[in-house]
C-alpha cells in the first residue's frame, strides 16, 4: 500500500527538510518552505516508472550509430541562430523571461511560421483561454490550419491531446500552471514542476517531438522552481529586455545541440516581434559625439560581433562613501577597474561617484570590454572626450596590463563595416591575421598607453 508522509521543500531551490525552517540553508531565502506530501511504496514506483520495456545493455561507442536528424528551421533566422540552426526533433527547450516581455508572442509567431511550412504544432496554454489566444493571433494575422491550440492544465489530458494530434512541435505555456494528479502539492510547487518536466521529457524522447516549455522567473531573474529543471532540459533560453525599450534579446545559456551564449535580437512592434538584422547599427544610431565618457566596444555574443556604446559619468561624491552604479555591466568588474586606474594610473577615484551604462539594454559580461570601460571612466574623470571613430577592445589585468582577446579579426572586420577608422587593441593580438583596409590598428600593452592614444591623440 502507498504511504503518505509530509516534508517541507524550499520553493526557490528545492532543498528538503522534515521540519519547517524560517531560512533555507541551501539558498538563504526566507519563508520559502512549503509543506508537501510524499507518496512512498508502489504508487511512487509507478510514478517514476521508465517508458522502456526493459533494461538496455552497455554498448561500445564505436558501434553506436550516429544519428543525422534534420533540424526543423523556424521562420525567424534569429531564433534559428540561438537554437544552433533550427529545432532538433525530440528536444526539450525551456524559455524563461520576465512577465510581459513577449515569450508567448515569440512562441505564437514561431508556431505560425512552422505551421505555414507544413509542420503540425500544438500550442497548450494553461494561463489563457482559447479566446484570448485567438485575439492575439488576429492581431498578428495568424490563421493557420496546422496550428492547434488547447487550453488545459492537467498533464494527463495534455498527453492524450498530443497522442491525438501527433504534432511535430508542442508548446507548453507555462510549466508552473500544469499539474499531475498523482502529486498532491499545488501547481507551481517544486514537486509539480519537477514531475511535470520529467513527464514532458519522456514524451519528447519517446515520440521524437520537440517541446518548448515556458518558465516563470524569480525577482532575481532566474527561472523559478528547482535548479534541476535547467539540468533536465536540452536547452535553456532567456528572453531579456528593458520594459521601456522596444528591443528584446533571446539569449541561449545552455544548448546540447549548438553553441551557448548566442543571442537573437528582436524589436517589439504593434504587429509583433520583428528581427533585427544588424543590431550594431541600432545600438549606435543615437550615440553621443563630442562628449566625455563615451566609448564603443566590439563584444562577441556567441558567434556574432555586436558594437555597443559604454557611457560613464564620474562626479565628486557628496557622501562619505562614493556610489558605484552599473547598468548592463558587472558591478564588481567596475569596482576592480576603478581600483586599477587608481593604483596603476594615478587617478584619485576614491572620492568620486561612478555611474556606468551600456546603451540599448544590452548586458555585457566578457573580459574584452574591460579596456573600453576603463577608458570611459578616465574620459569622464578628466572631462576629455574620445574620438567618435575609435573602437576599444581588450582585457585588463590587475597590474594594469592589457591582455589578448579572442576573435580579434572578426571584431575588427565588423568595425570596418560600420565606418570606424581606428581600433585600439592588445599588442599581443597584432600579427597572425590580415588587417582590413580602411582602419588603423593600434596595439597597446598597458592601460596607461591605451589612455594616451584614446584621450591624447
What tens digit of pLDDT does each residue of 319-375 get?
788 999 999 999 999 999 999 999 999 999 989 999 999 987 788 989 999 999 999
pLDDT in tens, 4-43: 678 888 877 778 888 999 998 888 888 888 777 665 554 4
pTM, 2 dp: 0.77
pLDDT in tens, 141-174: 999 999 999 999 999 999 999 999 999 999 999 8
46 compared with 255, residue with greater pLDDT: 255
Q: At what angle do helices 331-340 and 370-382 cross, to 10 degrees?
A: 60
The pLDDT value recorded for residue 222 is: 66
Q: Does residue 383 contact residue 333 with C-beta atoms inside 8 Å?
A: no
**Count, residues in the chain:** 457
Distance CA 8, CA 374 (A): 48
Give exposure, 426-442, as e/b (b: 16+ Cβ within 10 Å).
bbebeeeeebeeebebb
Biggest alpha carbon–alpha carbon distance for the chain: 82
Q: Does residue 195 contact residue 49 with C-beta atoms inside 8 Å?
A: no
Lowest-confidence segment of 133-137, 242-246, 415-419 by average pLDDT: 242-246
On the question of a cis peptide bond just before residue 33, with omega within 30 degrees of 0, the verdict is no
102 is known to lie in a ligand binding site:
yes
104 is known to lie in a ligand binding site:
yes
The pLDDT value recorded for residue 49 is: 43
Lowest-confidence segment of 23-27, 286-290, 451-455 by average pLDDT: 286-290
CA distances from 400 to 337, 345, 395, 397 (A): 9, 8, 10, 5
101 is known to lie in a ligand binding site:
yes
99 is known to lie in a ligand binding site:
yes
113 is known to lie in a ligand binding site:
no
424 is known to lie in a ligand binding site:
no
Comparing CA positions, the residue from 334, 345, 324, 333 lying closest to residue 399 is 345
95 is known to lie in a ligand binding site:
no
Checking if the pLDDT of 268 tops 70, the result is yes
State how far Cα 300 lies from the chain centre. 14
pLDDT in tens, 169-201: 999 998 989 999 888 778 887 788 888 999 999
Checking if the pLDDT of 381 tops 90, the result is yes
Distance CA 175, CA 125 (A): 10
Arithmetic mean of pLDDT over the chain? 88
In degrees, rounded to 5, the angle at the alpha carbon of residue 32 between the alpha carbons of residues 29 and 38 is 130
Q: Does residue 79 contact residue 220 with C-beta atoms inside 8 Å?
A: no
Amino acid at each position: 500500500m502507498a504511504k503518505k508522509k509530509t516534508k517541507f521543500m524550499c520553493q526557490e531551490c528545492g532543498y528538503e527538510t522534515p521540519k519547517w525552517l524560517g531560512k533555507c540553508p541551501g539558498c538563504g531565502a526566507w519563508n520559502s518552505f512549503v509543506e508537501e506530501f510524499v507518496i512512498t511504496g508502489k504508487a511512487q514506483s509507478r510514478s517514476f516508472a521508465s517508458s522502456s520495456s526493459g533494461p538496455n545493455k552497455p554498448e561500445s561507442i564505436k558501434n553506436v550509430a550516429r544519428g543525422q536528424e534534420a533540424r526543423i528551421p523556424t521562420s525567424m533566422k534569429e531564433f534559428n541562430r540561438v537554437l544552433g540552426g533550427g529545432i532538433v526533433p525530440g528536444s526539450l527547450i525551456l524559455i524563461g523571461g520576465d512577465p510581459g516581455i513577449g515569450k508567448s508572442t515569440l512562441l505564437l509567431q514561431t508556431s505560425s511560421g512552422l505551421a505555414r511550412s507544413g509542420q503540425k504544432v500544438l500550442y497548450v496554454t494553461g494561463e489563457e483561454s482559447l479566446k484570448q489566444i485567438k485575439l492575439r493571433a488576429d492581431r498578428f494575422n495568424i490563421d493557420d490550419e496546422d496550428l492547434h491550440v488547447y487550453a488545459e492544465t492537467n498533464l494527463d489530458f495534455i498527453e492524450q491531446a498530443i497522442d491525438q494530434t501527433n504534432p511535430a512541435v508542442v508548446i507548453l505555456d507555462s510549466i508552473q500552471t500544469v499539474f499531475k494528479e498523482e502529486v498532491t502539492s499545488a501547481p507551481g510547487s517544486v514537486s509539480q514542476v519537477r514531475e511535470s518536466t520529467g513527464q514532458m521529457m519522456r514524451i519528447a524522447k519517446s515520440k521524437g517531438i520537440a517541446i518548448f516549455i515556458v518558465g516563470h522567473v524569480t525577482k532575481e531573474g532566474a527561472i523559478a522552481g528547482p535548479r534541476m529543471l535547467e539540468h533536465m532540459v536540452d536547452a535553456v533560453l532567456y528572453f531579456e529586455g528593458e520594459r521601456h525599450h522596444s528591443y528584446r534579446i533571446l539569449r541561449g545559456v545552455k544548448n546540447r545541440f549548438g553553441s551557448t551564449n548566442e543571442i537573437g535580437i528582436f524589436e517589439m512592434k504593434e504587429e509583433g516581434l520583428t528581427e533585427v538584422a544588424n543590431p550594431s547599427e541600432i545600438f549606435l544610431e543615437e550615440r553621443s559625439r563630442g562628449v566625455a565618457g563615451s566609448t564603443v566596444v566590439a563584444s562577441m555574443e556567441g558567434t556574432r560581433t555586436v558594437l555597443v556604446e559604454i557611457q560613464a559619468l564620474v562626479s565628486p561624491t557628496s557622501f562619505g562613501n562614493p556610489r558605484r552604479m552599473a547598468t548592463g555591466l558587472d558591478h564588481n568588474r567596475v569596482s576592480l577597474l576603478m581600483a586599477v586606474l587608481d593604483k596603476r594610473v594615478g587617478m584619485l577615484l576614491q572620492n568620486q561617484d561612478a555611474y556606468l551604462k551600456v546603451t540599448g539594454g544590452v548586458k555585457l559580461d566578457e573580459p574584452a570590454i574591460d579596456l573600453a570601460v576603463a577608458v570611459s571612466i578616465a574620459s569622464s574623470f578628466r572631462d576629455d572626450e574620445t574620438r567618435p571613430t575609435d573602437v576599444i577592445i581588450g582585457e585588463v589585468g590587475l597590474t594594469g596590463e592589457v591582455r589578448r582577446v579572442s576573435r580579434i579579426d572578426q571584431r575588427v572586420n565588423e568595425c570596418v563595416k560600420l565606418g570606424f577608422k581606428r581600433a585600439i587593441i592588445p599588442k599581443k593580438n597584432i600579427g597572425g591575421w590580415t588587417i582590413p583596409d580602411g582602419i588603423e590598428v593600434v596595439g597597446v600593452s598597458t592601460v596607461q598607453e591605451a589612455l594616451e592614444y584614446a584621450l591624447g591623440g
